[in-house]
Amino acid sequence: MNYGWSAPGIQVLKREDSPIHLEANDYIWLESVYIIGGIAGLPVTIFAVDRIGRKWCILFSATVSVMSWLLIGLADRVEYLYVARFMVGLSGDVAFVAAPMYIAEIADEKIRGFLAGIIYVMMLIGILIIYAVAPYVSFYVPSIIGAALASIQLVTFPFMPDSPYYLLSKQKPERARLHLQRLRGSENVASEFEEITAAVKRQQAEKGRPQDLLLSKGSRKAVLIMIVLNGAQHLSGISVFLMNLHEILLAADSVYMSSEIAGILFASLMLISASVADFVIDKFGRKALLITSSLLTGLCLLVLAIFFSLKKSDMDVDGISWIPLVSVMVYATVFKFGLGIVPIVMTAELFSAKVKALGMTFSDLFYLLFAWISVEVFQRLAITVGYDIPFYVFSASTLLTALFVQIYIPETKGKTLDEIQFILKGIPFPPRSNSIRANSLFCDSNEYKDDKRNGE
């Protein structure tokens, strides 16, 4: 809800009966300070996910979210909005690292993609709520809804099981076994528990220093993949649309429906698409969804860019003014079917246990930086040269992403977290029947010895 708040929220604040007076620069900064808060949350995230655990980081995030919603609802000056947006950017950064990590570590690999994808489905439900409610009610009402939802999490989530991976990393094997039994609904977890124990021991034997993100072959490849995917998400314009959708449709003179109704439809299509993708991601795999989504998203952005070029050249586009609306709605569908949901699933899959917190936080840094860059690129270019140029940039970026996915990204569907580490290192994984012995087999291999010499 906070991610999508600025699009309808700023429109409400522009009204004559607005409870807060804003200057022109305030509208831009209300978008940017959210991202700045996320960047400020990076050191908190690095410290917290391994020190207090994934579960309690999620609860910390919910607590800050409640406080920020209360501040927004009670604000009578723009400074309070700045503080609230900064706070929720920080809490969002912690949550979007801790939650995927938690889910990846508690889930069976057969449904890991589905469960990780629920994070994005929930995010889209929040965007839909804020788009559907904010334009039609008093300014403080969305804050009541947001605070209530976060409060439900604060009341219920403390009773959830903790991550067995995290408990083992803290030398708490008995608690880890009990929590794994709760997660599986069975006491017969000996085989999986041994696999997890072996994986944690092997991955903890690797160095967890920041430089190991670049020295280790597997981590280096994971970092590059996540930088590209996080960049692709935002350089395909998603933050621009979520924060400026109403403004873009008004600039296109698309009169077939109001911008408020278009926002609700946009969020609804994203929600439906992400929900469908969540059910098929473990069937069709990550690569197929990424490539298809990237190609179709790039085409939608190209069509939108061409329309704005025609409009800028004073061509009569009244007869085709439906094109921007259709392009934006198709974009919402095809983006969320792959490019909008797969990266968050893969973020929690690619890094080994020892550098997972560091790697995911590093990825989140680039996620936030690219979000900021995309918003700044759009705002500056739209003012100086028109709306078409930023959409040409976004289209080219998205089409190049499809090529990168095909050439460089491995398929992680149906693989355990330990298998994925072998794939990234380019080392054959032992047969699944011998997976409990994977740790000793891996340590005896020449490749592992070479890795040790190279700091990998």
Helices and strands per DSSP (H, E), number in the chain: 21, 0
What CATH architecture applies to the domain 6-158+212-417? Up-down Bundle (1.20)
8-state DSSP, 320: G
Q: Say what the pLDDT of residue 207 is.
A: 53
Is residue 162 scored above 50 in pLDDT?
yes
Neighbouring residues of 178: CB distance < 8 A, sequence distance ≥ 6: none
The mean pLDDT of the chain is: 84
- Residues 6 or more apart in contact with residue 407 via CB below 8 angstroms: none
> Nearest-CA neighbor of 402 among 234, 271, 283, 228?
228
Amino acid occupying residue 69: W
- What is the per-residue pLDDT across 308-350, written as a single tens digit (0 to 9) for each? 999 998 888 888 888 999 999 999 999 988 888 888 778 778 8
Specify the pTM: 0.73
Taking only the tens place, the pLDDT of each residue in 178-220 is 999 998 888 888 888 988 888 788 767 755 667 777 777 888 8
Q: Could you count the other beta carbons within 10 Å of the beta carbon of residue 205?
A: 12
Domain with CATH 1.20.1250.20 in the chain: 6-158+212-417
Cβ count within 10 A of residue 204:
14
Residue ranges in 136-189 assigned as alpha helix (H): 141-156, 164-169, 173-184
More confident residue, 306 or 44: 306
Cα–Cα distance measured from residue 362 to residue 438, given in angstroms and rounded to the nearest whole number:
28
Whole-angstrom distance, CA of residue 123 vs CA of residue 396: 27
Across 47-86, b (16+ Cβ under 10 Å) vs e yields ebbbeebbbbbbbbbbebbbbbbbbbbebeebeebbbbbb
- The tens digit of pLDDT for each residue in 13-32 reads 888 888 888 887 787 788 88
Rounded CA gap, 151 and 64, in Å?
11
Is the model's pLDDT at 436 over the cut of 50?
no
Categorize the per-residue pLDDT at 64 as very low, low, confident or very high, splitting at 50, 70 and 90.
very high
Retrieve residue 105's tokens: 């570590």
